[in-house]
Structure 1
């Protein structure tokens, strides 16, 4: 029994603790195929190496969310194996384009700890870095997660809630090396909408809905080697009144991002994650809908613009049917995701 790992509970974490996560992962075309099968994205930059190379990316390009999922999965056995829920994200930056054959590894630093008033759980804040086989940073982000305590009576002395930026500033955005949209082919991308066509405050209903089935959710979670008990262990979920297995939040993010293609066909490349919140739990069988709001715009070089987008996902209610928040600022029933990110888009001419 002593050789097995039960995972860390809240009282096992310490401020400043650095954890090197096990099991590096080499990204292949197989990962891309399964990602497409599970979520259905259609962005040309990631569907065609020929298209990506025409945009200056000599080795092609793989959706940055695959890097996010892989690195996130590496952290689960150490950070969130005993989690109640993953709560949010901030200060996410993609430093390098993901390509076929790249090997990702991850490490995390504990930057915050806050025990909950019930003394049964606490919130752990970590800054995670994913690096390639040369040790170069591919992405970094902060996330916070609610973790069970092993012993409710354990004293937590060293507590701290970190101050996090509300958004990654435009001058911190990193466009992939070589990327140029000067000769961007809008017809092959699927829509003529350029940087100039989007206005701050504009809202886009992505119209389409997509059901995530139980088997798909389980497969997606295994694909990214996410071992959190709440996604697999029915006996673990029996502690929850619903008794259902919780769908990994990354499934909702990638499903909503894939749905955003309808209206944001040319905004597939995520440059940064400003913030994110899993507003409500999502369980398989519900139909996911999504809409986006343009929060900000920024000019970059080489025919590239950046849109700051707020992606909101709901379940079983088309987004056009209801507001995401009521007059008090509380989220409306059915909202499951509020995700704020920067995306690269081509400028016209």
Structure 2
């Protein structure tokens, strides 16, 4: 069985280890979704990851409702991302951009328009906005005439990511966002070619992935799924029936890797009692499979590799406070605790000021 510190090919990307940095929203861009200089420092600090997957990054103003999150739809955003990718590469790292359309999870006070989704539904709870927490708004169901434009936005964001120097892209199809809203029957109430049957609900994921592949190549295209229970109000009556065929189709398309976010019943950031589908997905997805959620120790991550299900593990919150996480896992050094209050705040505090082993040992 492979070791966490063995190299791995993720499509065209040669990663020196199997400890990936999962996408982590941090809210350090400006109001125009342009990356700021401190983001280059943050990502470069974490360049020892086998691969960095960026925080979720908007493909369009319509799809990006998180305050101070970055985008990839404008020339200014491309310019803002270039120092980030350059800094990561100069530090010896590899980085891909995660492409995000939030669907019904946005608020008009941020985007300037009514949210859109697979169907005219409303998320439960409240949304983050520049004006604090507000109730979600009812989404407008995307018309058939709207969907080519959404798919074009994914292609344009991919072109921009490559122009900004990224090594590839990951399509965010998880966590109750737009593509997940099409995949799951709890949010997709359509009766046309994009609703009803599993084949129809997978259609948007399929078309987006094909279009992104046409720009970046299959070997630089990845996808993230959350084949589990409820996520931000989005659920499915039979997850196995939709996510296993979806994974099979992605394998047929030859994507570089598939990442699965699978919190268990004891998950510390999103719990589900639905059995993990990664073993079933492993049977149909023949390329690199990455597992994610609640991995904090070397032993837990190595066990995922030893099981034969996973080829690599993406660490999320452990990377927040431990820019040198691979070295800490290798040596068994203790991990820094992250400050949740600064996860989504602006500025350097709780972002680029966590100590690395060398500085701690010197102190």
TM bucket, shorter chain:
under 0.3
Q: Which has the larger radius of gyration?
A: 1
More helix by share: 2
More strand by share: 1
TM (norm. structure 2) is 0.25
Higher RCO (C-alpha 8 Å, min separation 6): 1
